[in-house]
Structure 1
Amino acid sequence: MVLDLRILLRQRKSSVITEFLLIFLICTMLTWFLQLLWRKRKLYQASLNLPGPFALPIIGSAFYFIGKPYNIFGQIMHMFNNYPGIFRVWFGPRMFYAVSDPKYLEIILTSPQALAKENLYRMAQPVTGHGLFSTLSVAHWKKHRKIINPTFNQQILDRFMVVFVEQSEILIEVLKKYAGKEEHDILKLMTRCTLDIISETAMGVQIKAQSTDTSFPKWVDRLMEIVMIRIFNIYYHSDFIFANSRLGKEFYDITNKVRTFTKNVVLEKKKIRYNEKFENNEVSSDAEGTMLKRTAFLDLLIDINYEAKNFQFTDEELMDETITFMIAGSDTTASTNCFVLTMLGLHQDIQENVLREILEVVGEEGSVQLSHLPNLKYLERVIKETLRLFPNGPFLVRTAQEDIDLGDCTIQKGCSIVLGVLRSHRNEKYWPDSLKFDPDRFLPEKAAKILPGCFIPFSYGPRNCIGMKYAMMAMKTLLATVIRRYKLFTSYKSVKDIELKSNMVLRPKDGYKLTFELR
C-alpha cells in the first residue's frame, strides 16, 4: 500500500511538472506572439487600410501561388487588375505592398530608401552571385555600378557593332531552312543568336551557339524557371528543404555547369590579359569556345583590376558580373526580338512601314552600319511599343529601408514592394486603348508627355538597367537584318490573344507563332 502511494505521488509530481512545462510553453509562445503583434502594430494597421486578397494565418495568401509558372503569373496579374493603384499581399508572415500606379512607381524607383532589392533575389544568387542584378547590399551595388558604368560608354559600345552584324547575318542564314514552312517558335534560334552576341561582347569568347548544339540557352531558361517556382513556393524558401528537393538538386547541378563554364573563361582571360603579348594570341579555352582578340566587357573589368590602386574585383566577382551580363544580355533581348517579330506578323501595315524605312536608310544590299542605327527611328518606336506591351520584367521587387511617403499612403520601413510594370504599361488611364499596338505613341512630341512611371521596361531611377543602349543597338541591328530578308506572319489574331507566362522573363504561354517567307 505504501509502495502504491509512493508511485502515485511520483506520477502526480511528474504530471504537475509536465502541466507546468506545457503552460510555460504556451505562455512563452503567447508572449512572443503578442510582442510580435505589438512590434508590427503599425503594419497591421496599414494592412487594414489597404485592399488585398484574402489571407490565412501563418501562410497568408501563399495558397494563391500554387502551380506552374503560368498559373502563378496569372494569379499575380489577376490581383493587379482587381486592385489597381496599391494593395497589400500577405506572403507567409510578411506583408508586401503591390504598386502599379505610375505616380507611385516614380516615387519609389527614385527614392534612395528603395534601392535595396528584396530578399527573394537571393534565390538567384547561386547563379549570378552578387552581380549588379541580384546583390542585396546597396553599398556593394553602388561600388560596382560606379566602376562598371564607364565600360558601357558609347565609344566602347560602338566597337561591338561588328559582332551584332556578324551574328545577325548568321541568323538569317539559319532561318532559311524554316522559310516557307509551317509555323515555328523561333525563341531557341533567337536565344542562340543573342547568346553568341553576348558571349563575344561580354566574355570575348566565340561559343558558336548558332552552329553547334550548346546547352547554355537551355540551362539559363531552366534556371530562371526554377527560381520563379521557388520564389512562390513558401516551403522552398528554406535553403535546407530546397537543396534536398528534386528541383533543388537539378538547380544546383545546372548552376555548377554555368559557373564552371564562366570560371574557365575568367581564368583564361586573366592569363591572356596580363600577358604583355596577349594581342598576338588566339587561344582555345576549356570553356568550349574560342578566345578572341576583340576587347570584351570582361577584358575591361580585368583591365580595371590591373590599373586600379584602391579597388580590385575578386575572381568570384568577375564571374558574378560576367554571368549577369550573359543572362541579362541574351535572354531578355531574345524575348523582345521575338515579340517584335510577332507584332510585325500581326500588323502587316506596320511591318511594311518598317521595311520601307530599312530600305531607305540601309538600302537593299550591304550590312547594317553603325551610322544607320540613329536613323532607324520608326523601328525604334516599334521596339518601344513592343516593350510597353511586353516588358521583359513584368514585376520588380524592392525593400523599403525607411518609410516612403507616397502622398496618400506610407510604405512602412522594412516592408517589400512589388512593382507591377506590366500593369502600369497597360493602364488605360495613361495608355488609351492600351492593347492596341501603336508605335506612334512614341513620336517625339508624344513621348515627351509620357510620365516616367508609365514606361519602365529597363526599370527607372538610379538602379535602372545598365545595358539599355547596348540592348537597343543590338536589337535594331538584328531586326533590321531579319526584316529586310524575310516577310513575317503569325496566327495570333490580336494582342489580347497572346496569353502570357513568366519564368522571370515574360513569354507567350503558347510560344512565338511565326511563319517566314523570303522576300
Structure 2
Amino acid sequence: MISSEDFSRYDVRTYLVVSLITAFAVWYIKFLWNRKYLYIYSWKVEGPLSFPFLGCGYLLLGINVWKRHRKLLAPSFNHRVLNTAVGVFTEYSVNFAKELQAVVGKKNFDLYAWTIRCTFDLICKTSMGINVDTQKNRGDQGILFERAFEIMSYRMFRVWNHLDFVWYYSPNKKIFDGIYSKLYDLLHPLISKKFIEFKKELSGKHLDAEIEEESLYEKRLPFLDSMLLDPSITEKEVQDEAVAFALAGSETTASSICFLFSLLGLFPEVQQKIYEEMIDILGPDRNVEAFDLPKMKYTERVIKENLRLFPIAALVARRIEEDINLGDVILPAGSSVAFNLLYIHRNPKYWTEPLKFDPDRFLPEEIAKRHPCTFIPFLYGPRNCLGWKYALLNMKIIIATVVREFKIFTEYKSIEEMEVVFHFTIQLKNGPKVWLERRR
C-alpha cells in the first residue's frame, strides 16, 4: 500500500519533471521557430538537412572582447618586434637539436613529445617573458596537450556535450579539467609574479635586486606586458589568455613541424636543397640572426607547401552576419558555416596534381595566378590567426638549426600513406615515423 504522504511526494516529483520538460520544449520550439528560415534555405543545399541544436559561442570570445584583446595583442606580433626575439628562438632551437641527440638512430621515436617541449618553452618565453624549462626537465606536455585537443574535438562533434549540465557529468570533463589545472598551476605563479613586477614598474618602483634585468626583446615582445598596460584587463583575463596562447601556440607549431619532418624524410632531394640553402646563408655553425630570415626563400616555400597539404587548423567555422549570395543558394544572416581547409588546399580546381609535393607552387609568379583564399592555413580576414608571422619564423629557425645537424628519414613511402586524424587540429594518425642520423 502507498501511503498518502508517499503518493504526494511522487505527485510533486512528477509535476516538477513534467514542468521542466514542458518549459524546455517550449523554449526549444521557440528557438527553432526563430530560425525557421534557415531550414527553408537548407532544403535548397545539397547534403543532409541542417538541424542546429545549440550554438557553441562559449568556444570563442565574444566580438567586443575579441576586438579589445586583438587590439592589445597585435603589436606584439609584428615583424619588427618578432625580429628582436630571434635570439630567443635560436637559443631554444639549439637546445632542441641538443635534446634530439638522445634519439639519433632510434626509429619511430615520439617526435611530437620532443617538439612540443621546445615550442611550449618558446611560446612562454617569447610571448609571456617567462621561463618554464620543459625541455630541460623533459616534462609531459606532449601527452597532456594531445589529450586536451582530443577531448576538445570530442566535445565539439557531440552536440549534447555543448550543454554545460551534460558536459559537467562527463568523465572527459574531469580529465580536461585536470590537464587545464596542471597547465594553470605551472603558469599561474610565474604570471602572477610578472603581474606584480609589471605593476611596480608602472608605478615607478624599483624591481627587487634579485630579478634579472630584462633585455630589449623581453620588454617589447611579451603580450602580457601589452595586456597589463590596459587597466581594464583583470588578472583572470591575463591568466586565461596565457593558457590559451600556451596551448594553441605550442601545439599547432609542434604538429606542423612533425608533418614537415615526415615530408623532408619522404623527399630527401627537398631536404638537401634546404640544407644547401642553410649552408650558403649560415655556414655549418653560425646561429640564425634576423637578417638571415628573408634569405631563406626555398625553406619558406617548403614550409608553405607543408601547410598546404597539412593545414593544422583544418576545420574553420564562421557566423554569417549578412546574407551571402552564392548564385544557386543564399547563405542567410544568422547561420553558421564550416569549411574544411583540406578540401580547399587539395582541390584540383585550384592546384595541379594536388597531392604532389612541390614547393615551387609558392614562387611569386605562381602565387599571382591564384585567388588568395586558395591557401589559407592561417585563415583569412580580420579574424585570421594573430600568430602567423610568429609560426613561420619559429619553423624557419627550428628547421635551419636541425637540418644542419641531422639527416631526417621516414618510413612513409608516399603522401597518400600519411593519414590524418582530427583532434581539434589535424595530426598524423600513425605518427611521424621518422628517425635521425648525424651529419657529422
TM-score strictly above 0.5:
yes
Alignment partner, residue 263 of structure 2: 343
CA separation of 1:355/1:229 partners in 2, compared to 1, >3 Å: closer, same or farther? same
Amino acid across the alignment from 1:198: I
Contact 2:127-2:223 within 8 A present in 1 as well: no
Residue 404 of structure 2: SS of its match in structure 1? helix
Q: Does 1:413 align with 2:413?
A: no
Alignment of 1:309-388 (within 5 A): 312-388=232-308
State the match for 1:68 in structure 2: none
Residue 35 of structure 1, CA deviation: 6.9
Letter in 2 for 1:42: Y
Q: Distance in 2 between matches of 1:456 and 1:146?
A: 22
Contact 1:203 1:296 in 2 (8 A): no
Seen in structure 2, the aligned counterparts of structure 1 residues 408 and 244 have a Cα distance that, compared at 3 Å, is: same
Sort the Cα spacing of 1:296 and 1:240 in 2 relative to 1 into closer, same or farther, 3 A: farther
Contact 1:201 1:296 in 2 (8 A): no
Residue 447 in 1 paired to residue 367 in 2? Answer: yes
Q: Is the alpha carbon distance of 1:243 and 1:292 closer, same or farther for their aligned partners in structure 2, counting shifts above 3 Å?
A: farther
Tell whether 2:117 aligns with 1:122. Answer: no
Distance 1:389 1:38 in 2: 41
User: Displacement, 1:36?
Assistant: 6.9
TM-score, normalisation: structure 1: 0.74
Q: CA deviation at 1:34?
A: 8.0
Task: Kindly indicate whether residue 44 of structure 2 is the aligned counterpart of residue 46 of structure 1.
Answer: no
Does structure 1 retain, via aligned residues, the 8 Å contact 2:151–2:172?
yes
Contact kept in structure 2, 1:206 and 1:292, CA below 8 Å: no
Question: Can you give the 5+ residue segments of structure 2 that lack an aligned partner in the other structure?
Answer: 1-17
Matched residue type, 1:45:
I
Whether the 8 Å CA contact 1:394–1:420 is kept in 2: the answer is yes
| Mapped partners of 1:408, 1:296: distance in 2 | 53
Q: Relative to 1, partners in 2 of residues 1:332 and 1:378: Cα closer, same or farther, differing over 3 Å?
A: same
- CA–CA distance in structure 1, aligned partners of residues 224 and 22 of structure 2: 57
The CA distance in 1 between the partners of 2:252 and 2:58, in whole Å, is: 20
> Is 1:302 matched with 2:241?
no
Instruction: Return the match for 2:130 from 185, 201, 205.
Output: 205
Q: 1:32 to 1:513 in 2, by over 3 A?
A: closer
Whether 1:230 aligns to 2:150 is no
- Asked if structure 2 preserves the Cα contact closer than 8 Å seen for 1:385 and 1:437, the reply is yes
Offset at residue 140 of structure 1 (A): 1.4
Q: Which amino acid aligns with 2:283?
A: G
- SS of aligned partner of 2:82: helix
Residue 7 of structure 2 is matched in structure 1 by none
Give CA deviations for 1:236-262 in whole Å, capped at 9, x if unaligned: 222112112211122222222323333
Q: In the aligned structure 2, how far is the partner of 1:305 from the partner of 1:28?
A: 44
The 2-side partners of 1:32 and 1:312 are apart by 36
Which shows bigger deviation, 377-386 or 224-233? 224-233
Aligned 8 A contact 1:202 1:296 in 2: no
Contact 1:501 1:508 in 2 (8 A): yes
* Counterpart Cα distance in 1 of 2:28 and 2:245: 44
When structure 1 is superposed on structure 2, of 480-489 and 375-384 the one drifting more is 480-489
1:177 aligns with 2:97: no
TM-score by length of 2: 0.87
Per-residue CA distance 1:437-456 (angstroms, 9 max, x = gap)? 10000001101222122100
Q: 1:268 to 1:47 in 2, by over 3 A?
A: same
1:345–1:296 distance in 2 versus 1, CA, 3 Å: farther
Q: Do the aligned partners of 1:225 and 1:504 also contact (CA within 8 Å) in 2?
A: yes
Which structure would you say has the larger Rg?
1
Q: Which residue of 2 aligns with 1:254?
A: 179
Other structure's SS at 1:207 match: coil
Cα distance in 1 for partners of 2:271, 2:146 equals: 29
Give the CA RMSD over aligned residues.
Answer: 2.9
1:266 aligned onto 2:191:
yes
Q: Answer whether contact 1:224 1:504 (CA < 8 A) is retained.
A: yes
Q: Write out aligned runs for 1:350-499 (5 A).
A: 350-499=270-419
Match of 2:206 in 1: 277
Q: Confirm whether residue 192 of structure 1 aligns to residue 112 of structure 2.
A: no
Aligned-residue identity in percent: 36
Contact 1:298–1:318, Cα closer than 8 Å, also in 2: no
Q: Equivalent residue for 2:8?
A: none
The structural deviation recorded for 1:264 is 1.9
Q: Which runs of 5+ in 1 are unaligned?
A: 1-21, 54-87, 95-118, 124-133, 284-290
- Helix, strand or coil for the counterpart of 2:337? strand
User: Matches of residues 39-78 of structure 1 in structure 2 within 5 Å?
Assistant: 39-53=34-48
- Tell whether the 8 Å contact from 1:486 to 1:517 is kept in structure 2 after alignment: yes
Equivalent-residue separation in structure 1 for 2:131 and 2:180 (angstroms): 21
In 1, Cα distance between equivalents of 2:162 and 2:364: 46
Deviation for aligned residue 1:199: 1.4
